[in-house]
Structure 1
Amino acid sequence: MNTLIAVIVIFGLLVFIHEWGHLIFAKRAGILCREFAIGFGPKIFSFKKNETVYTIRLLPLGGFVRMAGEDPEMVHIKPGYEIGLLFNDSGKVNRMIINNKSKHPDCKIIQVEKIDLEHDLIVQGYVDDNEGLTTYHIDEKAEYVYDEQATQIAPYDRQFGSKTVGQRAAAIFAGPLMNFVLAVVVLMAYAMIAGMPVDEPVVGDVTDDGAAIEAGLESGDRIVSIDGQSVDTWEEMTSIIQANPNETLQFEVEREGELFDVSMTTQEREGPEEEELGVIGVTAPMERNFGGAILFGFTQTYEYTVLIFEALGMLITGQFSLDHLAGPVGIYNYTGEVAAMGILVLFQWAAILSVNLGIINLLPLPALDGGRLIFIGLEAVRGKPIDPQKEGLVHFVGFALLMLLMLVVTWNDINKFFM
């Protein structure tokens, strides 16, 4: 249950922040955003605020912001159609009833001769044979109603394609950008809670079973020298200790302005590359300050970014195989393991996943934000957009291939789980 809660909270936050970035920048550009969705598939919950419907959907595999103009309109009103018109106080059409007109007895029924919902915002039609052609002006926020479902019209200046290259690129890039911002904020919170290591040769805490506690070292003691070699930083101190496993070393220690000598025999611990390292059972001193937390958030996010790019490079060059990739099942299992280690480790894991989501979405692959940015870049170079049908086909094929990759990775996850 803890794993499920952790996964829902972390992935919900990552997807929400990503899509929120798209939404905010799109709205600032004046784009009509029809839907802000977390998940895919059937709707579980929805509500409408202003012009946007906010939904939670069944399959928690991502999310989307549906911007006007990105997809063809679901309803096309053509000459010869009979529709019902409802008007606002200004005399403009604010609702067009496509079917089930009997449920709206107060609407004016016309036979459409001409309609323009993008530029002129007019509908022309005949009420009956005795009346001539009449022109009605349409409110820019009018809705058409089909099967009792209302959808706001999208004048051309509210559509994604009407905006400048810069505005569209910003709306697309904002999603991954917000994932990097989230990583920085989460790591700042981590630093403020856990503290940041200080690069001074000072004892932070003493473990219960190390050489330091046997020698009487206490929190706050400063190591001045080891075997006559002076040390000025935590890194210098630890490098000497680690290089001498199972060795007796002489430490000069300062405590409250007084110096004294102690002898300690280092213990042995396996390092990250399976080498033997010396330890004495002390931790680095920690500090908590807002300025340092900001710096820690940015530097740690940068380090995570570099590591992920290195991993991607190894995947491209064949040093990693697809077996090393983790899909939803694998990430679920890893999140459970991390959650068991405590909230602070979970903070770091959330930051890593957020950076990873930002980078993956920026890859120049069809159907991803990076692929869409490539098409916008090509438009900027060519001076005209790519044929929307061709671009749509490329994204469709790319999405299908991504789903295929997801299935392969998920199958590998399941196999690992039962091995």
Structure 2
Amino acid sequence: MSLFQSLAAVLTPAGLLWTVVIIGIATFLHELAHYALARTQGVAVKSFSVGMGPVVFRRPWRGTEWRLSLLPIGGYVEIDGMALEPGDDGTPHQPVRGFAALPAWGKIAVLLAGPLMNLVVAIGLMTLSFSTQGVPAPDRVRIESVVANSAAQRLGLRGGDVITAIDGRDIPESLVVQGRTVAGWEAVRDTLTRAGRHRFTVERAGATRQVAFDWQPTLNGQRQLLGIRYGPDVRPATLPVAFATSWQVTAEAVPQVLRSFAGLFQRFLTLDLSRDENVSGPIGTAEIVSRAAALSPWALVQVAILLNLSLAFFNLIPIPGLDGGRILLVLIGALRGRPLSFSQEQAINLAGFAFVMLLMVFVVVRDVSRFF
């Protein structure tokens, strides 16, 4: 099977379209926040582009050239005072106006606005999802689907069943498995690692029944599967509860996201092309969106939440060239009592930008390599 046949097998036209739409909106809002904070402080913005590469459409409006570029892989704003300016003699000079003339807090406000916008979008979408779909109930396990001809089907389990207790004990909000704390609904997985007789207390259509079975995690050297897809149940939530839960989920996601990025950097430095389910490149992202598009609009909302959170957290990493790295340089200048020279900042940011570009190339190569 060729590469194009392999891609066609996992990507759909609807998935590709939604990938462009979701990433495009997330990027547009990110750059719009930079634009707004610059203009609010009286700093001109020369251009605003959705997309990268060759410009296919441009229109001046309110002192800014608004552009649509060919490649739907990001965007940029060209803020006055963030690049060298040509002097009277034609040679480039360090800027003294616009962004360069702002106090440290003003520069940080402009740089921080983009990631914060993506964070606000993610929390807003989560609040909408939780208030309409319900908040996770980690002490209850909802069976989403049952594999045909599986042990679960023979036991009479069905999609929509809710497991409320295991072996006569209520499922806790959280539990410790192999030294790490996980959500209570993962008690199902923990139970299926232990041989013996087990019993699920199952709710279906308001009635409760007991499902008892003998279990062997491995048989003849092969891992046994019960045959269910499951996750936490949900319970109805008011808007304040949905909003509070969104913040809680975001806070809990921070360590996991940081571990994912740390794993990516480690793989990059060791040129490890093995697949990492926690970090996806453009093809992996389009594949996830394709699957979500085939499920429901709310699945697409979940993908949009993850992409906005990832964009916010990634841009806050203190790598020169990213928003977080630029903020770090501003803070260093504030602590020194004088900012770094423009040539120093440019050299540091250029090195950071080159690192980020190499990292993106690595992610793309790793994405493609799994098809060979």
TM-score (norm: length of structure 1): 0.65
Aligned partners of 2:197 and 2:215 also within 8 Å: no
Provide the residue aligned with 1:30 in structure 2.
42
Measure the CA separation in 2 of the matches of 1:334 and 1:49: 37
- Larger mean Cα displacement after TM superposition, 206-215 or 381-390: 206-215
Cα distance change, pair 387–415 in 1 and its aligned pair in 2 (3 A): same
Give 2:254's aligned residue.
Answer: 305
In structure 2, the residue matched to 1:173 is 112
2:99 corresponds in structure 1 to 160
Q: 1:363 to 1:322 in 2, by over 3 A?
A: farther
Query: Quick one: which amino acid aligns to residue 46 of structure 2?
Result: R
3-state SS, counterpart of residue 38 of structure 1: strand
Once residues 269 and 298 of structure 1 are traced to their aligned partners in structure 2, the CA distance between those partners, rounded to angstroms, is 40
Change (3 A) 1:199 1:366: closer
Pairs within 5 Å for 1:35-184: 35-73=47-85, 159-184=98-123
In the alignment, does 2:307 pair up with 1:295?
no
What letter corresponds to residue 294 of structure 1 in structure 2?
F
CA displacement 1:277-308 (0-9 Å, x = unmatched): 87999983531421221122212222332211
Q: Is the 8 A contact 1:242 1:278 kept in 2?
A: no
Q: Report SS of the residue matched to 1:70.
A: coil
Distance (Å, rounded) in 2 between the aligned partners of 1:222 and 1:41:
52
Residue 57 of structure 1 aligns with an amino acid whose one-letter code is S
1:15 aligns with 2:38: no
**Correspondence 1:408 to 2:362:** yes
Among candidates 285, 292, 306, match of residue 338 of structure 1: 292
- Counterparts of 1:154-303 in structure 2, within 5 Å, are 159-198=98-137, 229=168, 231=170, 239=187, 243=191, 247=197, 249=199, 262-266=209-213, 284-303=233-252
Q: Assess if the C-alpha contact under 8 Å between 1:304 and 1:352 holds in 2.
A: no
Task: Judging by fraction of residues, say which structure has more helix.
Answer: 2
- Which amino acid is the alignment partner of residue 314 of structure 1? G
- The 1:267/1:290 distance shift into structure 2, 3 A limit, reads farther
Q: Identity of counterpart residues, as a percentage?
A: 24
- Answer whether contact 1:34 1:52 (CA < 8 A) is retained: yes
Any idea what SS the aligned residue of 1:354 has? helix
- SS of aligned partner of 2:252: helix
What's the CA shift string for 1:77-105, capped at 9, x where partnerless? 569xxxxxxxxxxxxxxxxxxxxxxxxxx
Which 5+ residue runs of structure 1 have no aligned equivalent?
Answer: 80-153
Query: Which structure has the higher relative contact order (CA within 8 Å, separation 6+)?
Result: 2
Alignment partners' CA distance in 2, 1:336 and 1:343 = 12
Give the whole-Å Cα distance in 1 for the aligned partners of 2:239 and 2:67: 36
Q: Determine helix, strand or coil for the equivalent of 2:233.
A: coil
Tell me the distance in 1 between the aligned counterparts of 2:252 and 2:189.
Answer: 26
**Does structure 1 conserve the Cα–Cα contact (< 8 Å) formed by 2:316 and 2:323?**
yes
Structure 2 partner of 1:357: 311
Q: State the 1:172 CA deviation.
A: 0.4
Task: Specify the code of the residue in structure 2 equivalent to 1:411.
Answer: V
Give unmatched runs, 5+ long, in structure 2.
1-12, 175-183
Q: Which residue of 2 aligns with 1:99?
A: none
Contact 2:135/2:237, CA 8 A, preserved across alignment = yes
* Structure 2 CA distance for partners of 1:343 and 1:280, relative to 1, 3 Å: closer
Name the Cα RMSD after superposition: 4.3
TM-score by length of 2: 0.72
Contact preservation (8 Å) 1:69, 1:160: yes
